[in-house]
Amino acid sequence: MADETTSSSPTIDPYEYLQFFPNPDDTATRKSNVLLSKTISDPDHDPRVLFKDVPISTSNNTWARIFLPRQVLDSSSTTKLPLIVYYHGGGFILGSLDDRFFHDFCSNVALEYPAVVVSAQYRLAPEHRLPAAYDDSMEALHWIKTTQEELLKKYADFSSCFLMGPSAGANTAYQVGLRAAAQVEDILPLKIKGLILQHLFIGGVKRTESELRLINNPIFPVCASDLMWEFSLPHGADRDHEYCNLTVGGGSDVLDQIKQLGWKVLITATTGDPMIDRQVEMARMMEQRGVQVKSHYDEGGYHGIDVIEPEKRKAVPVIMKEFVNSAMAPQSVKDIVG
């Protein structure tokens, strides 16, 4: 296995690996794969957490799932819980918020943080290439700010909102964050306090050392991420497009606004992820732009481990609490090696 993961030549068929098969009409056939396992049913769900599905856009067939710890329903306290808006992973071509990994993760965060979690569905590529996922995810924010849904109006603190996601969901949280920072008044009464980016899905044309070293990583080979970008980026774009290479040109101009707003950014990653070099570069770039960043890097591991493995999943709320509650000095990056 060591020889395979350190080889500089790809040996894995990404279509078979992902069970993703493009069709001539710019659609795709998706079969069951090792990354995603649908779906959750009520008997499998943690009874300590209430969840409710709500429609967002009937025309785009998008929806959201609200998670709330049941204990607050019986509490006399009027204190509202922080609001976490969560975007699922899947490389923009796979996945749904009701995949078991994402459902269980959101349920755990709602219970252990605790928080109100809104997990938002977005349209997938290649049927709907980027920026469709970003558009849908931004629409979810506007739905939240105007909804009359009681679970949100009664229990969610709209003035303490964080955008969060793993992999492509982290990429989406970042892109939605850029849009939201550029139109702060338009999303009131939502007040975003920061971004929580887990195992950020990020790329570029030129290979990094970690991509070459882990090119045939058995959990997430580089060829799989290449395929995801090929079918999710706008037609004609390469991996240095701003949706993929988030550090190109020194990053978005909106980072200056994020700095002024005082948002905090948490980046979690593992050294076993082929994208680790890019994730470290991303943290460094934001630090240089004056954004308050905290990085949590675990040794070993793999892309998405925080969502997939139950024990790692349980540790995330602890890291989140430390991140939110810590008094971070501007223009600094704190690295915690776990």
| Burial call 281-318: b when 16+ CB within 10 Å, e when fewer | bbbebbbebebbbbbbbbeebbbbbbbbeeebbebbbe
C-alpha to C-alpha distances, 218 to 116, 130, 201, 234, nearest whole angstrom: 35, 27, 17, 28
**To the nearest 10°, the Cα dihedral for 238, 175, 179, 298?**
-150
Let me know if 135 is a catalytic residue.
Answer: no
- Please tell me which residue in 88, 103, 296, 303 is annotated as part of the active site: 303
Contacts of 144 (CB under 8 A, 6+ apart): 83, 85, 118, 152, 158, 190
- Please tell me which residue in 273, 277, 298, 306 is annotated as part of the active site: 273
CA pair distance 25, 72, nearest whole angstrom = 48
Tell how strand 333-337 and strand 292-298 pair up: parallel
Strands (E), 25-110: 28-30, 49-57, 62-69, 81-87
Let me know if 167 is a catalytic residue.
Answer: yes
Let me know if 303 is a catalytic residue.
Answer: yes
Burial class (CB in 10 A: 0-12, 13-18, 19+), 25: exposed
- Please tell me which residue in 119, 167, 210, 252 is annotated as part of the active site: 167
Kindly list the catalytic residues.
167, 273, 303
